[in-house]
Chain A
Amino acid sequence: MAKDIAKTHKEWEKPLLELEDTIAKLREAARREADPVKQANYIEKAETYQEQCNRYVKLMYSNLGDWEKVLVARAEKRPYTLDYIQSIFNGFIELQGDRNGFNDNAIVGGPAEFNGRPVIVLGHQKGRNIQDRQMRNFGMAKPEGYRKAIRLFEMAERFRMPVISFVDTPAADPGVESESRGISEAIAAAMLKMFQLTVPTVSVIIGEGGSGGAIGIAVSNRVLMLEHAVYSVIPPEGCAAILWRAPERAPEAAEALQITAKSALSLGIIDEIVSEPEGAAHRDPAGASDLIKEAVVRHLDELLKLSPAELHADRHAKFRKLGKFAETL
C-alpha cells in the first residue's frame, strides 16, 4: 500500500510530466517539419495531448489530499521567497549578517518598495540545484538567520516600514552548530521582537510552514497562506516516527496533523487562504504573484489605518486568543 504513495512531487506528477514531455517533443517535431501536412498533423496531436494534459492538471490539483499538499508545498519548481520578491517588489536590496559573527543564507531580506511604499521584506529561501540547496541549507535557518531577521524587524520599527515575511522552511536547522549558538533563543527572541513592533506586519506561508522555524518569523498582524502550502507543528515524517516509529507513515500523520490552509483557517490560525492558479503556483508563478500581491495590499491597507499602539495591541490580541480547551469555573 505504502509503496503506491508518492514520496516526492516529481514522482506524483510523473504522468503529467511525461505527457508534457510528449507535447514538447511533438511541438519540436512540428517546428522542424517541412511538409505542411505532416506539420499540421503534429500540431493537431500536440493540441489533443495538451487538452488532455490540462484536464489532468485540473483533476489532479482540484482535490489534493493532505499528503499531496505536502508534496506540492515542497515541490522544487515551486516559487521561493526571492522569486516573489523579484515579481512583486521593486528595488529590493538584500542586507546580510547578524552582526555577531555569522550570516545565514536560509533567510534573506532587506528594504524594497511594495505597491509604491517602502517596506522590509524577508523570508526563508530554498535552493533549486544541489549547490544552491546546500548554500541555502535546504531553507533551514540557523540562529544567525533569526538574528538577521531581528535586525530587519528593528530597522522596520526605526524607519516606520511595514514588514512582509514569506515563510517556507521544513524546520529550523537542528544541527550541532545551531544548538551551540542558541537556535531556540534565536527563534524565541525573533517572536518576541515581532510582538514589540508598532508597524504593520503581514506574513505569507508560501510553501512549507515548518514548526518553530516558521513561527519565528510569522508572528504578524495578518497571516495569509497559499492554497497549497502546509503549516505544521512537526514534519509529518517526525510525527510518524514518534507516534508509530515509522517515518514511512508520514501520509497518515499529515492527515492527523491537519496541516492544510483550510484547516489552519478553520482553527483561526490564519486570516485568509490565497488561491493559487490552476495546477498550483509553479505552473503559473506570475499568476501566483498577482494573487499574493492583491491579498497583501488589501490587508496592509487595512492595517495602515491603525495607530502604532493599535497595531501592537492587535497583534497581541490575535495570538492571545489562540488555543482550544474546556474551562469550568
Chain B
Amino acid sequence: MEFEQNLRVCQHCQHHHRLTAQIRVDWTFDENSFVEHDTGLSSVDPLSFPDYGKKLEQMQAKGETHDSVLSGTATIEGLRVSTAVCDFAFIGGSMGSVAGEKITRALERGIELRCPVVIFCASGGARMQEGLLSLMQMAKTTGAVERCRAEGIPYIAVFTDPTMAGVLASYASVADVIIAEPKALVGFAGLRVSKQAGVGKVPDDFQTAEYVLKHGMIDRIVSRKELRATLAGLVRTLGGHLLHSEAGA
C-alpha cells in the first residue's frame, strides 16, 4: 500500500487526502501514547431539528462514537500534549455542543496538566442543527483559548482540509501557532453563501492554505510527512518553560 505508506498523499500531485481522526492520531503521536478522554459525551437533538436525530442515530449505528472531535492526551517524540482532532467524516466535522465541549476540555486539560495543546481542525463550521447552541461554542472555545494564554499554555492549531466558517472564526484562528496542510480549504464563508451574497470573481487560490499564508493569516504550510517533526519542535520550544517548571516542582 504505497498510498498508505505515503500518508495518503498522492505521489503524483501531492494531494493530501482527508484522514479520519483515529488515523490522524495514529500517524501523529508516539505509538500507543494516545489516551482518549471525554468518551462519555454524545450529541442530543436539543431543537428537534429536522432529520438531525435520525442522522445521529445513523452515525451511532455505524460505530461512530466520538462525534466530530476525538480528544485526549498523547506524547509526541516523548513530549506530553493535550489534543483534539476534528473528524470531517462526522456530519462534516461540524461543531455542535459536543465538539465545543471537547475542544474546550482539551484546552483546559492543557492548563491542568501544564502541557501544550495541539488541535487538528477539519470542519465545515458550526453545526446548524443545534442552532444558537452551536454559535455559542464559538465563544466557549475561544474563552478556553484565552485561559490558556493567561496560563502560558502553548496552543498549536493545524488547519486540515477543510477548516471553515464557525471553527475558523473561533478557536482555530487564535492559536499561538497555525500550521496548514498543503491546499487545505480555509475560509470564512462557503462558496455557496458567498455567491448568494453576490460575491463576484474570486482569485484562483481563494480560500486555500496558500492564500491565507500569503495574506498573513497562518504561520506555515507543512506537508504531512514533515508535520510530526514540526509539531514536536514547536511543542519542545514553546512548551520548554513548562518542562522546566515541572522539573523544579
Chain A residues with CB under 8 Å of chain B are: 171-172, 174-176, 178-185, 187-189, 191-192, 195-196, 211-212, 214-216, 219, 231-234, 237-239, 241-243, 247, 256-259, 263-264, 267, 269, 315-316, 319-320, 322-329
Shortest beta-carbon distance from A150 to chain B in Å: 12
With contacts A189-B173, A323-B100 known, is A233 near B199, CB below 8 A?
no
A233 touches B145 (CB 8 A): no
B188 touches A316 (CB 8 A): no
Interface SS of A by simple majority = helix
A247 touches B196 (CB 8 A): yes
With CB as the reference atom, state the residue of chain A lying closest to B49: A256
A234 touches B126 (CB 8 A): yes
A233 touches B101 (CB 8 A): no
Contacts of A247 in B (CB 8 A): 196
Shortest beta-carbon distance from A106 to chain B in Å: 14
Q: How far is the CA of A171 from the CA of B135 in the complex (A)?
A: 12
Q: How far is the CA of A256 from the CA of B49 in the complex (A)?
A: 6
For the complex, is B81 an interface residue (Cβ under 8 Å from A)?
no
Contacts of A174 in B (CB 8 A): 188-189, 193-194, 197, 199
Q: Which of B44, B169, B171, B199 contacts A176 (CB 8 A)?
A: B199
Query: What are 11 A-B pairs with beta-carbon distances under 8 A?
Result: A175-B194, A183-B188, A185-B174, A188-B168, A195-B143, A215-B136, A215-B139, A219-B139, A263-B131, A315-B143, A322-B139
A211 touches B126 (CB 8 A): yes
Q: How far is the CA of A172 from the CA of B193 in the complex (A)?
A: 12
Q: How far is the CA of A181 from the CA of B165 in the complex (A)?
A: 15
A319 touches B139 (CB 8 A): yes
A319 touches B140 (CB 8 A): yes
Contacts of A325 in B (CB 8 A): 41-44, 96-98, 101
Q: Which of A183, A256, A322 contacts B136 (CB 8 A)?
A: A322
Chain B residues with CB under 8 Å of chain A are: 40-44, 46-47, 49-50, 96-98, 100-101, 104, 126, 128, 130-140, 142-147, 149, 165-166, 168-174, 187-189, 192-194, 196-197, 199-200, 202-203, 206-207, 211-212, 215-217
Contacts of A171 in B (CB 8 A): 189, 197
With CB as the reference atom, state the residue of chain B lying closest to A210: B135
Contacts of B172 in A (CB 8 A): 184, 188
B44 touches A316 (CB 8 A): no
With CB as the reference atom, state the residue of chain A lying closest to B136: A322
B132 touches A263 (CB 8 A): yes
Contacts of A324 in B (CB 8 A): 44, 46, 97, 130, 133
Most buried by B among A179, A182, A242, A315: A179
A233 touches B41 (CB 8 A): no
**Additional A-B contacts beyond A179-B206, A182-B216, A269-B136 (17; CB < 8 A):** A179-B207, A184-B187, A187-B173, A191-B139, A195-B142, A233-B126, A233-B128, A233-B134, A256-B47, A257-B128, A259-B132, A323-B96, A323-B100, A323-B137, A325-B43, A325-B98, A329-B40
With CB as the reference atom, state the residue of chain B lying closest to A174: B189
B197 touches A175 (CB 8 A): yes
Contacts of A219 in B (CB 8 A): 139, 142-143
Contacts of A326 in B (CB 8 A): 41-44
Most buried by A among B134, B139, B144, B192: B139
Most buried by B among A195, A196, A237: A195
A237 touches B41 (CB 8 A): no
Shortest beta-carbon distance from B215 to chain A in Å: 5
Contacts of B41 in A (CB 8 A): 325-327
With contacts A233-B126, A325-B101 known, is A181 near B136, CB below 8 A?
no
B197 touches A233 (CB 8 A): no
A257 touches B47 (CB 8 A): yes
Contacts of A183 in B (CB 8 A): 169, 188
Q: How far is the CA of A264 from the CA of B46 in the complex (A)?
A: 12
A192 touches B146 (CB 8 A): yes
Q: How far is the CA of A174 from the CA of B145 in the complex (A)?
A: 25
Contacts of B100 in A (CB 8 A): 323
Most buried by B among A192, A231, A263: A192
B138 touches A264 (CB 8 A): no
Q: How far is the CA of A191 from the CA of B166 in the complex (A)?
A: 12
A259 touches B135 (CB 8 A): no
Shortest beta-carbon distance from B69 to chain A in Å: 12
Contacts of B49 in A (CB 8 A): 256-257
Contacts of B46 in A (CB 8 A): 267, 324
